[in-house]
Amino acid sequence: MKNLLLASTIAALTTASAAIADITILAWPGGDPEKALREVVTLYNDTQGKEDGSKADVIYFSRQGFKEKMLTDAAAGSTEFDLMLTATYDIGRYAPFMLPIDDLIDDETYKVFPPNAIETQKFEGSVYGIPNDLSLHFLYYREDYIGQLLSDPAWIERYQEISEKHLGQRLSPKAPEEWNWDDYIATAFFFTRSINADSPTRYGTVLQLKNLLFNMMLWQATVASHGGDWQDGDGNITIDSDAFRRGLAIYKTIVDNKATPGDSSSYEYGEANSAFGSGQVAFMIQWNAAVPELNDPEQNPEVAGKFALTHQPAGPEGIKTHFHSLGLGLSAASENKDDARKFLRWLGTSVEANTMYAQLGGSPPVVDAIMSKVADKRPDLPMMGEHAGSYGFVMNGGTSEHALRLYEIIAENFTGYWAGELSEDEAISNVEEEMRKAFAG
Amino acid sequence: MSYHASKHKEGMLLLSGLCVFMAFMLGYPAVANIWYSLSNISFSDIHTSEFVGLVNFENQLFSPKMWKAMGFSLQFGLICAALEVVLALLLVFTLHPILSRRPWLTAFLMLPMMVSPALMGVMYRLMLNEFAGVVPLYFEMFGVYVNFLGPENIYTTVIVIEVLQWTPFALLILLAARQAVSPDIEEAANMDGAKPLQLIRFIFLPAMLPAIVIVAFIRFIDSFRVFDHIFVLTGGGPGSKTTSISIYIYKLFFNQNAIGEAVAVSLILLFMSLILFVMAAKLIFRSE
């Protein structure tokens, strides 16, 4: 009898596992988006997955070296995951190991994602991913301090003195929405205690200057707002330009005047958050993903509820923000392509899934109708849509197969310049040369 | 069959397993790497590489960036190895009387090297942070403001972290070498009126010399190929200020997608290590 029961159980389990094909999703780890995606996957398994006869699971590598690990696995033809992470700036690199999913994109998809969001997941005309997180930059500023700067005559007078002394022009404080880059620098100086002993903060701003490609994405709005680009319309490299020199100078002025922490050269996302979260920094340009974390009173009691968001300062060519999307695409080595495609179709067309994802901390670049549903809980989301539409830019060549490599070269040379290791001319010439080589093939 | 021939055959048979193992585990990757180093290869054409001869070696041997990274590693390795050996010797001679009576205390001294280097990097990234770190906080209490991770101090900081983590390794080996010195010799020297410094200079150091050379060599090689904690702390920057040769190879391989050139640098490195190994071996045998 025991043997019979055991055999029946094994048979039942075998049948069940044959009926439910598993798909594995390799996704970007950490923070609220990770928790949100886990919930979305659970929702799929409880609803559409049952209809599809498919069960999804999600796995994560650590953030450190994530892309390298995924690249190695993908190039080796790993079947450990069926769906993999895509990002606007490196789809070209991973495209040889993925399959396009154009046939999954139709009017139903556009009811959830606007066409420009789908565009961020395209490479050479083909769609490779369903976007599930939009990334761009906000100017985070302390409302209390900026409010006082705009209203306190003594502060206004001091601000004018500082701007005249350090920038050679007597500027008056403005609301952050009206800033240009000179206002940004002058305000950074005003809130730096080594320049203004009465400053309530130790530093005006915090720059992320670690030799890391993502830090260059943060910086390059300075260039774009001055009309700079990697290449012109004819494919000529245009790094050696006034726009790039001005962009470099904006950061260099802040670094040299110590208006950013002295160890900023080792800073990236986390360090900038901890500096701003300590209450010792008046404003910073940071990724949108930091909003929930900085507004959490348990994690950041010094700043939660005390800061506001706006766009980055304007240049002669207007306001700009780098933007890209992360998404999920189909691995060419997947052994469960049909099930993986079913999941992607569901993710790309489900209002419920994307609403849930946004409510739980993800930042899907969805249509306004869905954004408005979660605006109460996530006021930053509609702002993101507006900023991406109005100010978003991607450098010419910034989605090519060379993009990642070029960002690395830019990071190495320009962080070297800000740290005093290279001259401006050396840094620009090195980047130009490498970029020319890359685009020449 | 003669006795010697039979023994020879047995020896060959017993060695064959090891040889097969080595051929698979070391031989195959070595041959594959030599092929990659002679090929134009990237992730997108990893199965269809093109033979290009010595171009990758030529590109890298004439690359100032490669030599800069090599110079960093060489300097870093020499400084760290020297500091670790000197510190370990000081600790050995200071702590030997205590550790010989309470050997379990040695376990506490070994703790730093049990932490993974990457974790060590993360730990110091937090501890040295101006806003969240405990070390700058203590310095500030005494009115001293130091940016440990700023461009002006980052080189010293990464060296100190390496030395703090790996001095225990040198201590362990040198302590064993010190304890291996016969108490009879020490007693005889004492009876002859040798002072403590003379004991160290004329008895212990000569007896410990082979161990010192081995430790210095191992620590140099290990520090020379430093990667983890520097990569976590600085990413090799600012600029390329802290780019070691391992970080350089990693970036060449993964970020620049120049697999052939990255492997070529690895082989250059292997060749240089072999030269060093031969030199160290000669030194050890000569001192013995």
pLDDT (tens digit, 9 = 90+) per residue, A155-209? 999 999 999 999 999 999 999 999 999 999 999 999 999 999 999 999 999 999 9
Give CATH for domain B60-287. Answer: 1.10.3720.10
- Asked whether the predicted pLDDT for residue A17 surpasses 50, the reply is no
Angle, alpha carbons A399-A84-A114 (nearest 5°): 55
Residue A161 pairs in a beta bridge with: none
Q: Packing angle between helix A403-418 and helix A424-440, nearest 10 degrees?
A: 170
Identify the three-state secondary structure at position A392.
Answer: strand
Question: Both A258 and A333 in a single domain?
Answer: no
> Domain containing A6: what range?
2-134+325-390
Question: Both A127 and A162 in a single domain?
Answer: no
Q: What is the pLDDT of residue B288?
A: 59
Distance (Å, whole) CA B278 – CA B150: 39
C-alpha dist (Å) from residue B55 to A139, B266, B274: 47, 15, 23
CB atoms within 10 A of CB B276: 14
Using the beta-carbon criterion (under 8 Å), do A278 and B132 form an inter-chain contact? yes
Question: Both A117 and A185 in a single domain?
Answer: no
Question: Both A181 and A228 in a single domain?
Answer: yes
Cα-Cα-Cα-Cα dihedral sign, residues A350, A356, A360, A363: positive
Burial classification of residue B87, based on how many CB atoms lie within 10 Å of its CB (0-12 exposed, 13-18 middle, 19 or more buried) = middle
Interface test with B, best of A263, A423, A430, A433 (most B CBs within 10 A): A263
Question: Both A332 and A303 in a single domain?
Answer: no
Question: Both A157 and A268 in a single domain?
Answer: yes
Per the listing, tokens 């997608």 go with B257
Q: What is the pLDDT of residue A216?
A: 97
Spell out the long-range contacts of B51-60 with Cβ–Cβ below 8 A and sequence spacing 24 or more. B52/B260, B56/B260, B56/B261, B56/B263, B56/B264, B57/B264, B57/B267, B57/B268, B59/B261, B59/B264, B60/B261, B60/B264, B60/B265, B60/B268
Question: Both A420 and A318 in a single domain?
Answer: yes
Average pLDDT, chain A: 92
Chain B residues within 8 A of A209 when measuring between CB atoms: 238
Identify the three-state secondary structure at position B213.
Answer: helix
Question: Both A227 and A338 in a single domain?
Answer: no
Chosen domain end from A390, A409, A424: A390
- With beta carbons less than 8 A apart as the criterion, state whether A263 and B145 touch: no
Distance (Å, whole) CA A180 – CA A18: 61
- Asked whether the predicted pLDDT for residue B3 surpasses 90, the reply is no
Using the beta-carbon criterion (under 8 Å), do A278 and B131 form an inter-chain contact? yes
Using the beta-carbon criterion (under 8 Å), do B43 and A93 form an inter-chain contact? yes
Residue A84 pairs in a beta bridge with: A329
- Write out the two tokens for A185: 């620098």
Question: Both A54 and A126 in a single domain?
Answer: yes
Query: What share of chain A in percent tops pLDDT 90?
Result: 79
The domain that holds A16 is classified in CATH as 3.40.190.10
Q: What is the pLDDT of residue A440?
A: 85
CA B242 from chain center: how many Å? 16
Question: Both A145 and A248 in a single domain?
Answer: yes
Burial classification of residue B236, based on how many CB atoms lie within 10 Å of its CB (0-12 exposed, 13-18 middle, 19 or more buried) = buried
When pLDDT is cut at 50, 70 and 90, the band that residue A19 belongs to is: very low
Nearest CA in chain A to B255: A405
Count how many domains chain A has: 2
Question: Both A309 and A175 in a single domain?
Answer: yes
Instruction: Give the residue-averaged pLDDT of A405-412.
Output: 94
Q: What is the pLDDT of residue B199?
A: 92
Domain ranges of chain B: 60-287
Q: Between these two residues, A4 and A97, which has the higher pLDDT value?
A: A97
- Residue in A405, A411, A419 closest to B241 by CB: A419
Under 8 Å CB-to-CB from A39, ≥6 apart: which residues?
A: A356, A357, A360
pLDDT tens per residue, range B70-110 = 999 999 999 999 999 999 999 999 999 898 888 889 888 89
Q: Tell me chain A's radius of gyration from C-alpha atoms.
A: 24
**Is the ipTM beyond the 0.95 threshold?**
no
